[in-house]
Chain A
Amino acid sequence: MSRAAGIDLADEAERSSLSASSSGEQETELRDWIALLKPRVMSLVVFTGMIGLVIAPGHLNPVLGFTAVLCIAVAAGACGAINMWYDRDIDAVMRRTRNRPIPAGRIPAPAALGYGIVLAAGSVLIMGIATNLTAAAVLALSIFFYVVIYTMWLKRRTPQNIVIGGAAGAFPAVVGWAAVTGSISLVPLILFAIVFFWTPPHFWALALWANDDYRRAGVPMLPVTAGARETRRQILLYTVVLVPVSLIPWAIGFSGRIYAVTALLLGIGFLVHAWLIVRDRQDMTGVSLTNDAPAKAAFKFSIVYLFVLFAALPIDRLIG
């Protein structure tokens, strides 16, 4: 859906917001402002950022380390708020998102934008003060990447939106590393690559069963443009690439056997899930006859995969 086409819906959402606040029927709840930060997405971002910080060589004062993680969390939240502001038109037509604070009329769109900008600027500024310019610069780049490159440019234009835009979610580990070392070396770039290759199968698994939503909103997710069958094939391909990439920390000697075994077992698990998605019972057009049960299972597993894989890095260094 183009912005022009979606603007009527956005206007409608804003109108309902105005009428709601003027009549006093709806008053913004604190939880709406928290919802704007997409807390569930934030948890994964914070975790990968924290791992980057913990495994980096060197020492960072705990207060500054806490501040760095806080800045990563706030920056991720700011991205979520600006994303919700920009996507309010398509959010209004998708079942999964239509009850978000802006399309539901509980928070006016300009207020959400201001909130996001203030948080984004504040997080970069405080990161720079507390740690170093490199970490602040990478954090600013990650915000720019998510808001401008992914949300405003790619999301509505190409089915590769998730592939390229996925880089935005891969930055936090690099930011965490840079906060300690003040530089970027091979290891954080490998962590970046892991999240980068993990993102497409993770999101496409979701997109498979949220296909109708994306189609209605006109977002060119891969299942919408290339069909479910091709999406299943792409999920498997990216997972095949992800497994060897996840073993690089062990291959270059940064991690030991504990990490290697964990990565291998998780990789096999992810490959099995991807294979089950490909083998899902489907009709002639590729539509699942199992209500996309394998895709739902793979989506859940992918979250566990990333958490456990990244957790294995410091555990391996601690006891390996």
Chain B
Amino acid sequence: MSSDDAERERRRRTRNIAMLIVLLGLAALFFAITLVKLTKI
């Protein structure tokens, strides 16, 4: 693997990890909102 390919791979991995964090964060946020709303009822 050339250094360019390695660099591209690194950037892609960083983006994928960021996307995973965003999705997990959203899932946690929706879960928390649901809990708060249910507690209110």
Contact = CB atoms under 8 A, between A and B. Distances in A.
Q: For the complex, would chain B's binding face be called helix, strand, loop or mixed by DSSP majority?
A: helix
Given A61-B36, A64-B36, A28 B15 contact: yes
B29 interface: yes
The interface size bin for chain B is 10 to 19
B11 A29 contact: yes
B33 to A, nearest CB: 5
A63 interface: yes
A258 B11 CA distance: 50
A130 B14 CA distance: 30
A253 interface: no
Q: For the complex, would chain A's binding face be called helix, strand, loop or mixed by DSSP majority?
A: helix
B11 A27 contact: yes
A30 B8 contact: no
B15 A67 contact: no
A129 interface: yes
B12 A27 contact: yes
A119 B35 CA distance: 24
Interface in A25-50: 27-30, 33
Contact of A67 (B4, B29, B35): B29
B27 to A, nearest CB: 13
Contacts of A61: 36
Contacts of B12: 27
B12 to A, nearest CB: 7
A315 to B, nearest CB: 28
Given A126-B33, A129-B33, 8 more contacts: A27-B12, A30-B11, A63-B32, A63-B33, A63-B36, A64-B36, A67-B29, A67-B32
